[in-house]
Amino acid sequence: MTGIVPSVYLGTVGPTLLALFAAVGLGAGLWAARAVARRQVARRLLRGAPSPIGTLREDALVRVEGRVAIDGTPLLRSPIEGRPCVGYYVGVDYFDATRHQVPCWFPITEETVVVPFRVIGDDGAVVEVDADRFDVEVHFVESGRVLDPPPERVVPVLSRSERRFVRGRNLAYVEVAIAPGARVSIVGRVLRPAGGGAGAYRRSPRGAALGPLREGDPIRLELAPEPDAETVPGLG
């Protein structure tokens, strides 16, 4: 009887587990391969010249450049510096002098909020980014942390992330706002505008619509540094 149990286990459960592991491994491999392919497409688009917005064709993968236009878009206020914008990224770090006996900064929260906005290209054509439907991933050149954010501004940010324990002490932040008129580069897929027919964006003053490269991905937005901006003091 003792000799039968191992043979039954190996003959039935063993292959089932192996098949399950193989399926999980195959799924993970496909996900990783698709992630690599997405990054390669984004890198290729970023290396190439931007597409003129007026020449966009539906379903094309493109990179477009232009300046943010609001035209009645309700503006946000960046949470710490209070700048009017169509979107912002804020990250807050905490300095822990006792963490593992090695004083260091470590991130405690970050958030990105973007509302729908339009971009006007150098050719005068318009593209729309519907941030209500799609996530937007903001990329920027960081100039360094800013020390000691005002407690009344940073506490709401911490509260939204359930990180209230630091109580505003030993903090630094990075905040980037997508201001009206800011120059941006966007990587995405050209979409048919809601309620429009084929090629409707070429006949509509509202312009083309832009979505993510693939369903479930964010739209990638690169924010150009302000040419006249002074270097923000921080720790780098």
Neighbour count for residue 171 (Cβ, 10 Å): 22
Tell me the two tokens of residue 134: 């799609």
In a domain, 137, yes or no: yes
Same domain, 38 and 119: no
35 is in which domain, residue-wise?
Answer: 1-48
Short-list 182, 183, 187, 211, CA closest to 63: 187
Same domain, 55 and 16: no
In a domain, 228, yes or no: no
Look over the chain and give the mean of its residue pLDDT values, rounded to a whole number: 76
In a domain, 236, yes or no: no
Instruction: Give me the number of domains the chain comprises.
Output: 2
In a domain, 5, yes or no: yes
Give pLDDT, residue 95: 82
The residue-averaged pLDDT of 121-139 equals 92
Give pLDDT, residue 76: 94
pLDDT at 192 over 80: no
pLDDT at 194 over 80: no
Q: Measuring CA to CA, how many Å separate 71 from each of 125, 126, 128, 132? A: 14, 12, 12, 17
Beta bridge partners of 120: 67, 126
Neighbour count for residue 182 (Cβ, 10 Å): 20
Cβ neighbors of 156 (< 8 A, separation 6 or more) are 79
Same domain, 182 and 101: yes
Same domain, 92 and 124: yes
DSSP structure string for 26-70: HHHHHHHHHHHHHHHHHHHHHHSPPPPGGG--TT-EEEEEEEEE-
Same domain, 56 and 139: yes
**Alpha-helix residue ranges (DSSP H) falling in the chain:** 4-8, 14-47, 151-160
**Percentage of the chain modeled with pLDDT above 70:** 66
The residue-averaged pLDDT of 115-143 equals 91
Same domain, 122 and 209: yes
Give pLDDT, residue 2: 45
51-63 burial: b if 16+ Cβ within 10 Å, else e: bbbbebebeeebb
Question: What strand order describes the sheet that includes 87-96?
Answer: 104-114, 87-96, 171-178, 146-147
**Percentage of the chain modeled with pLDDT above 90:** 38
Give pLDDT, residue 16: 59
Give pLDDT, residue 11: 38
pLDDT at 133 over 60: yes
Cβ neighbors of 205 (< 8 A, separation 6 or more) are 126
The residue-averaged pLDDT of 110-132 equals 92
Same domain, 55 and 42: no
User: pLDDT confidence of 179, banded at 50, 70, 90?
Assistant: very high
Residue ending a domain, choose from 30, 48, 66:
48
Beta bridge partners of 109: 92
Give pLDDT, residue 1: 45
In a domain, 231, yes or no: no
In a domain, 162, yes or no: yes
Give pLDDT, residue 166: 58
Same domain, 1 and 112: no
CB 176 within 8 A of CB 223: yes
Same domain, 35 and 132: no
pLDDT: which is higher, 163 or 33: 163
> How many Å apart are CA 190 and CA 58, to the nearest integer?
5
Q: Could you report the per-residue pLDDT of 59-83, keeping only the tens digit for each?
A: 899 999 999 997 776 799 999 999 9
Give pLDDT, residue 66: 95
The residue-averaged pLDDT of 208-216 equals 89
Q: Measuring CA to CA, how many Å separate 10 from each of 76, 80, 228? A: 62, 61, 70
Same domain, 99 and 197: yes
